Amino acid sequence: MCDHHLLPDLFQSNQRWAQRIKDQDPEFFAKLAQQQSPEYLWIGCADSRVPANEIVDLLPGELFVHRNVANVVSHNDFNCHSVIQYAVEVLKVKHIMVVGHYGCGGVRAALEDASHGLIDNWLRNIKDVYFKHEQHFRQLSSQDERVDLLCELNVMEQMINVCHTTIVQNAWRAGQELHVHGWIYDIQDGILKDLGLCVSALDQIPSYHAPLPAQLGCR
Ligand SMILES: [Zn+2]
């Protein structure tokens, strides 16, 4: 049996947090328990410095969230696809945002040749993004610049992967309002940036070989 007394700080801070929320709105948890109706699905990195709700200052119930190492949307990831399906078909979210962040450790590891064990198979998704856009990295002199460009490109490719899911495409075919966004977060100043590609219909999906948006690579 797990002994909660080993982690007293977390349970004490939970009690304080719940009380603070109740002080602001005594009915908050009662209302939240009845239903969730978020308008947004956030697909982000598992990095502890990128907490979804806090960054956009939203309360519990306002953001449906899926996080993994380096915000990857892989075609055979049933976990991620199940989240997308529930968000789109049941919750009927209007926006899906893939949110990366500069200095991502997963992206940095994908740029290295070193072996990291099991996770190498996951990072392969990001290595594929690198090899697809390899020519854009040649003019960059520092590894930090390469990491940050790959962070941006990874967001773009993963949001296009969202657009290529049958779930999202079927929603668009059925006339459901659904917008897919690519954002990146800067840990150094807490600011989110829109990478400028929003897809809201089947005929807006960029081709696999479309040129990069001009603003990429300049923070
Ligand atoms: Zn990360």
Question: pTM to 2 decimals?
Answer: 0.91
Render pLDDT for 118-132 as a digit per residue (tens, 0 to 9): 999 999 999 999 999
Between the CA of 136 and the centroid of ligand 1 the distance, in Å, is 21
pLDDT of residue 207 exceeding 90, the answer is no
Catalytic residue check, 49: yes
- Ligand 1 centre from 48 Cα, in Å? 9
From the list 104, 108, 163, 181, the catalytic residue is 104
Whether the pLDDT of residue 208 is over 90: the answer is: no
Whether residue 138 lies in the annotated active site = no
Q: What are the b/e assignments for 111-149, b being 16+ CB within 10 Å?
A: beeeeeeeeeebbebbeebbeebeebbeeeeeeeebbbb
Rg of the chain over all Cα atoms, to the nearest angstrom: 19
Q: Of 16, 49, 116, 173, which is the active-site residue?
A: 49
Q: Does residue 45 register a pLDDT over 80? A: yes
Active-site option among 66, 80, 81, 101: 101
Catalytic status, residue 120:
no
Of 94, 85, 86, 82, the C-alpha closest to 176 is: 94
